[in-house]
Structures are given as structure tokens and as C-alpha cells.
Chains A and B, each alone.
Chain A
Amino acid sequence: MSSGKIVAMILAGGKGTRLKSLTKKLAKPAVFFGGKYRIIDFPLSNCANSGIDTVGVLTQYESVALNTYISNGSNWGIDGNKSVTTNLPPRQTEEGANWYMGTADAIYHNIDFLDRSNAEYVLILSGDHIYKMDYSKLLEYHKEKDASLTVACLNVSLVEAKRFGIMKADEDGRIVSFTEKPKKPESTLASMGVYIFDYKTLRNELIKDHKNAESSHDFGNNIIPQMLGEHKRVFAYPFAGYWKDVGTIDSLWEANMDLLDANVSLDIYDNEFKILSADTRSTPQYIGPEAEVKDSIINQGALICGKVQHSIIFNEVTIEKGAFVEDSVVMPNTTIKAGAHIKKAIVGPKLIVEGEHAVKKASDKVLLVNN
């Protein structure tokens, strides 16, 4: 009998080299975002809000801090008697000890977890995307199309298309071709890196892929083309809404600034779809007698005595009197000293910042102030 059970697997093992020193000691999914959150809060909160009760988080790079943060999933409420969150870092088994060699390989090495979870559907997610999505709608679509695999996708510009997995779909939504990072994109329908598989199919495909010595064991490069080659029912699910891969300093800064843009559809103030996160044991946010705060997002525990304009300020940040922060992101436990001027920068956590860290022109590249 069909259990209909869906298990989410979040790929969170990557280093995120392009985030430079922000990921020196921290996995990319654990990087701070939006005044209060870490990036992985978004896929985990999406799971919670979609009613998913079994979540595996595949960690690898700097896994200890991330495993500690994820813990038993209680921050997202996926820790009850009928729900479970499990960290799945690489491990030693009878067959030896191996690092995860690719996205598909990471899932392959956890087939036993999926078997034990009685998965009928497996939702594959990335731990480093900022978006709000109800996955239950994706699952409905998947069932309705009687698909073996459904790829969530969105429309991007032709320029951006080169960075994504690009697909062509027929009128019914069935994917006819899929190319990872094409030089000459033949469409603008881009994969979000969010997939739903029938578990039986996924299991077979992963085993097949594992035996293929030439495969790079990647969903976009190997598994999806392999399934299309076998004429499996692979469908594209059109997602409309905010989605951003925050893989670079620029895109991380942009996504933060998007929270201040009334025209952007990412709403973290919607009580019916909350983004859940770890609570910080902060004191109340205090805005001092001579402070000036405009067009900004500021978390509890912050102490603002200076000027803050169009910025994102995390918990336990101090902005001293006479400091000026504009168009910037200041991560937790950092102090901006009197006289400092920060403009268009990401300021890392646990720093004491003095002096000028400001771009000359608004069009300049984002500054990273970090150790």
C-alpha cells in the first residue's frame, strides 16, 4: 500500500568558496542572512511550513558547526514524536569511508536512511537558496503528472541562463531537454535545484549512476540527463516567486537588500508562513537618544546609537554614536566604532570595526569587511 510519505534531503555540504572569508570556518548554509537568520533556515522553514516531517541534512564542509546548529531540528519544530530531523555527514561503513563526491553521491550514500524512512517521494533541496515555497504544491503537481521526477523551475533572463541548469518543456510541462550551465541557452527556464523524485526510481538511478565510473555523480549533469535518455516522465514545475542563490558576496548583499525593497516578493513578515530560526538570548533592541534609523531591518539585541540607513543589522551589533552605516549588512556581535563609515559592505560577525569602509560610487562592487 502506498504510504505517500515524503522525505526531504537538504544538500548542505558545500564550502561556498565564492563567499570568501565568510565561509572560512563556516559552511555556506550556515552563513548569516537577513538580520536574524542563517541561509539554511529558509529550506528548513519551507519544509516545516509544507508539513514535511522527515528531513535529512547532508553536511560535509565544516560540518560540526552546522550539525550543532541543525541539532535535532527543534528550531523548526521538526523534532516531535512523529517528525525527525537528522544530520547526515559522511561516515565510515563496511564498504569503507568516503567523502560525498557530488550531489547524487551524497544521496546514494544515504539510501539506507531513505529505506528506513519508508520514503515514497524524495524532495531534494539545496541548503543555500533564499526563497519561500510550499513544497506540498510541488508534490501535488508531481502526482497529478504521474511523474518520476519533477524539477522546480523559474524564468530567468537570457544572460543569467548560462549559470543555471536550463530545460525545454513541452506544452504539458514534460521536459524534453536539460543542459547544465549551457554556453548557448536554448530557453530561459532554469532549474532551482529543487527536485521531487519517486523514491523507487531515484533509488535505481542512483545505483546505476554510482556504477558509472565516468559520472560526476551530480543531479543536473548526470541523473536528469540519464533519466531523460531513458524516457522517464520528467516534468517542470513552474515556480513564481522570489528565489535567489546567494553564492557570491554580491548576490548575498543583493538578497539582503531585497528585504528592504517593497517591490520584492520575499515577505518575512507573513505570520502564516514564518521563517523559523534559533532564538538568540538577546536583550531588547535599544535605539539610543541620538540615533537615526531609516529604511532598515534590525534584530533584537542590537544597540544603535549612531546612524543607520538602508541596512540590515543583526543581533548583538553595536553601532556607536558618531558611526554611520549605509547600504550594508552587519553580522552578529560586531561593533561599529564611533567615527566609522560603512557603505555598501558586508561586515562579518564578531568584529570591531573602525575607520572608513565605504565604496566610492554606488555602482562599485560590494566590500567585504571580515577577518
Chain B
Amino acid sequence: MTKVIGLLNLHNSPKLGELNITRSVSSTSFLGRYAFMDFPLSNFSNSGIDKQAVLVENHLRSIIQHVGSGHAWNENTKIGGLTLLYDEPFANTKGYNHDVNNLLENSWYLKGTVGDVVVIVPPHIIYHIDFRPLIEDHVKNHHRISVLYHKLDNAKSTFIGEDIANIDERGFLRDLSKNQGIEDDLNISMETYIIDKEVLKGILQVAHKTSSFINLRDTIKMLCKDMPIYTYEHKGYIRCFDTIENYFKYSLELLNYDTFSELFNANWDVYTKTYDTPPAKYGADSDVTSSFIANGCIVKGKVKNSILARDVIIEEGADVENCVILSGSYISENTHLENVVCDKEARILHEKDLVGESGKPQFIRRGDIV
């Protein structure tokens, strides 16, 4: 059996606007019940990858808070485990805080963790996949490095700034280049790599000797010219959460049950931290349609096409439409909210009519009283 290590690489992930001032994408609330990192970590978990590490770029506190002991994603909590790797000496030094330096600074992890193959994934590209058949094929065919890609038909407006994978007719990667939104039909790199552990250690040395500023992606771009890097195609739900506008759009899009069923299925659990909140409670005059309502919510008013995270209170006469309301927020009586993203523990008390644009939601900061 191939022994596999899973690395969730938080370096290189974009920022979801104001939502990511004090937290990274990985620990940002998603669908009322999850943080983004739950999806890649559950992919590991469901693929039997029990040794997991998170390469932390910044906002360590919010990540520690969500991960806890890591037991939520582990099958065997002693043989497996979830480790946070953080490049402490260079976390605040511009240019130096990247994945290669993180793994070099924490070289004990790869050295000391039993594994043949390492799977590296990003936090902001959301998909579900069983890595096992790919790893099996990768090992059987001695591929050493493999990259996952997805055929897009809408790349003019999605995955902007992500990597286009240029693939030859034999299925090998020839180049990585940035998507500038010129073409709709192209193969996009999922920033998901399957690499033999010893090869990865070699790559880190190559990178280090090339430049102190070169990261893993740039190294792979450099290497694919000279060495065979294989590619695997992924099919199914995939979205790149890269701006607050897309966060808003893709979140609400999942309120369509068909889209929802593409991301979730009964055989693919998504694990997350539990907060032991009671079930949601609906008042005698509540009117809720097309929405995700997390536990701990108390809904007395109207909610339509919206996502309420844990412990949100919607008072009587309130009217919430096309909104994402994060945990612990309070919407007072007779308040009309439309196209609003409301960060945690905000209290809408005085403004009775808050309306954003459907492509550009009004943002309410964490803990603010409005």
C-alpha cells in the first residue's frame, strides 16, 4: 500500500476582499457550516490520507481555532494527525514567505513522516475527488510528479490569474501560464500536485539553489520543460473562490439544489469542527425559502435565497434576501437586507434598509453595529 501525506498549501491563495483582513480563505465561513479548508481536508480524509499538514502563510490564529486537535479529519488519531507548518522566521519578510521556504524551514516534517507520495492541494479551489485511483496510477506508471487539471469553458470570467496548464498530446505538462481571461476554453491547473516524497525533497533543494524567492509553482513551471510531469483530468464541480464577489456568487449558486448535489453526495462526507449548537428554530411567522440555515439560528422573519451561519438571529418583520450572514449576527426587527455579506457578530440595529448590488454585495464588518 502506498503511504500518502496530504499537504494543504495556504501560500498562493487569493483574498476574499474584506472577509480576509484577519483570516485566510481556508478559515473563512462557507455555506453556514464549514470553513473552506474542510473541503480539501475531507478529500484527504475520504481518500484514506491520514497524515495531513497545513502550510500556513499567515493568520495562524484563525486556523488554529478551526483545526483544533485535527481529530475531525483523522481516521486514526495517533498514527494519523494534522500538523500546522508555519515559517516563523520569515512569516513577515516579503518575498520569503512561500511554500518552498516553509517546507525547508520545517524539513523535519517530510523527513520524519512516513510516506511515499505527497499530495499538495490549495484551499480556494473547491472540488471533490478520490485521490486513491490517481495515486495508484501515478505509482504504477512511475510518474514522480503529476498535476491535476480541469477543462474549463468559461475561463474568460473564472479562474482569472490562476495557472493555465499547457499539456502535450501524450498528457505531459509543457508549461504553466497565467489565465488573463482571453479564452473561454482551456485547461486550468488545479494547483493540485501528486509528487513522490523523495522527488519533492529534491525539488525543494533545486528551488533553494535557484533563488530564495522561488516557490513551488514556479519550480514546477521551470522543471516541466526538462522532466516529464504527468497530468490527470478532473471532472465535476469546481469553483475558484478568489474574490468576495465570486464568494458571494458561488455561495448563493449552491442554493440551487442541482448545483448543491454536484458538490455534495451521500458517499462523500465533509467533516468540520463542531460547536455543539442546538438545531435551528423557526418562529410562528417565519417565512424561509431557498436557503441554508445553520444550527443555532433563530428565524422569526423572512429569509429568501440566503445563507445563515451558526447562531444568527433574524427578528420578526425582517426581510433578508440574497444575503450571506456569518455566525452570531443579529438582524433586528423590520430590517430589509438585500445583497449583503455580513461578517461575524455584526448587529444590524439602526439601518433598516441595506441593499447592495447583485454583482457587488454590501459588506458589513465583523462585530460592527450598523
Q: Contact at B289–A295, with CB atoms within 8 Å?
A: no
B270: contacting residue among A271, A283, A291, A294, CB under 8 A = A283
Stretch from A59-67, A157-165, A240-248, A297-305 that touches the partner? A297-305
Instruction: Taking A36-B279, A299-B279 as given, write out 15 further A-B residue pairs in contact, using a Cβ cutoff of 8 Å, ordered by the A residue number.
Output: A36-B295, A269-B296, A274-B278, A275-B276, A275-B278, A281-B269, A283-B260, A283-B264, A287-B289, A288-B290, A290-B289, A293-B282, A295-B282, A295-B284, A300-B280
Does B122 reach chain A (CB closer than 8 Å)?
no
In the complex the two chains form, what is the Cα distance from A296 to B281 in whole Å? 6
**Given A286-B257, A291-B288, A298-B293, also A281-B279 (CB < 8 A):** no
Task: Collect the chain A residues with CB atoms within 8 Å of residue B257's CB.
Answer: 286, 288
Residues of A within 8 Å of B31, CB to CB, are 284
In the complex, the answer to whether A286 meets B279 with C-beta atoms within 8 Å is no
Distance to closest chain B CB from A308 (angstroms)? 8
Q: Are A276 and B293 in contact (CB under 8 A)?
A: no
Inter-chain contact B271/A294, CB cutoff 8 Å:
no
| Contact B279–A288 (Cβ < 8 Å) | no
Q: Is the CB of A294 within 8 A of B282?
A: yes
Closest to B311 in A: A271
**B32 contacts A295, C-beta separation under 8 Å:** no
Closest to B264 in A: A283
Instruction: State in angstroms the CA–CA spacing of A294 and B288 once bound together.
Output: 9
Complex-state Cα separation, A284 to B294, whole angstroms: 6
Q: A287-B291, A288-B290 are in contact. Are A298 and B280 (CB under 8 A)?
A: yes
Contact residues in A for B281 (Cβ distance below 8 Å): 269, 296-297
Find the A residue at minimum CB distance from B263.
A283
Does A187 touch B at the CB level, under 8 Å? no
Evaluate whether A300 and B33 lie within 8 angstroms (CB atoms) in the complex, with A269-B281, A288-B257, A289-B290 already known. yes
A306 within 8 A of B: no
Which residues of chain B from 244 to 295 have a CB within 8 Å of any chain A CB? 255, 257, 260, 264, 269-271, 274, 276-295
A-B contact count (CB 8 A): 95
**Closest residue of chain B to A271, judged by CB?**
B311
Smallest distance from the beta carbon of A329 to chain B beta carbons, Å? 12
A285 touches B289 (CB 8 A): no
Verify if A103 is at the interface (C-beta below 8 Å from B): no
Measured CB to CB, the residues of B under 8 A from A are 31-33, 255, 257, 260, 264, 269-271, 274, 276-296, 298, 307, 311
Q: Are A284 and B33 in contact (CB under 8 A)?
A: yes
Given contacts A286-B260, A287-B290, A293-B288, is CB(A268)–CB(B33) below 8 Å?
no
A271 to B295 Cα, complex, angstroms: 13
CA distance A269 to B276 in the complex (A): 11
**Shortest distance in angstroms between B148's beta carbon and chain A's nearest beta carbon?**
24
Q: A281-B271, A287-B293, A289-B289 are in contact. Are A298 and B284 (CB under 8 A)?
A: no
- Return A217 CB to nearest CB of chain B, in Å: 36
Which of A268, A274, A293, A299 counts the most B-chain CB atoms under 10 A from its CB?
Answer: A293
Question: In the complex, what's the smallest C-beta–C-beta distance from A295 to chain B, in angstroms?
Answer: 5
A281 with B270: CB separation less than 8 A: yes
In the assembly, what is the distance between CA of A283 and CA of B287, in Å?
Answer: 21
A279 and B276 CA atoms in complex are apart in Å by 7
Find B288's partner among A34, A281, A283, A287 (CB 8 Å cutoff): A287
B292 pairs with A286, CB closer than 8 A: yes
**Contact flag A294-B292 (CB < 8 Å), given A35-B279, A274-B276:** no
B295 A299 Cβ-Cβ under 8 A: yes
Of chain B, the residue at the smallest CB distance from A295 is B284
**Residues of A244-296 contacting chain B, CB below 8 A:** 268-269, 271, 274-277, 279, 281-296
Most central of B33, B282, B291, B296 by chain A CB within 10 Å? B282
Q: Are A288 and B282 in contact (CB under 8 A)?
A: no
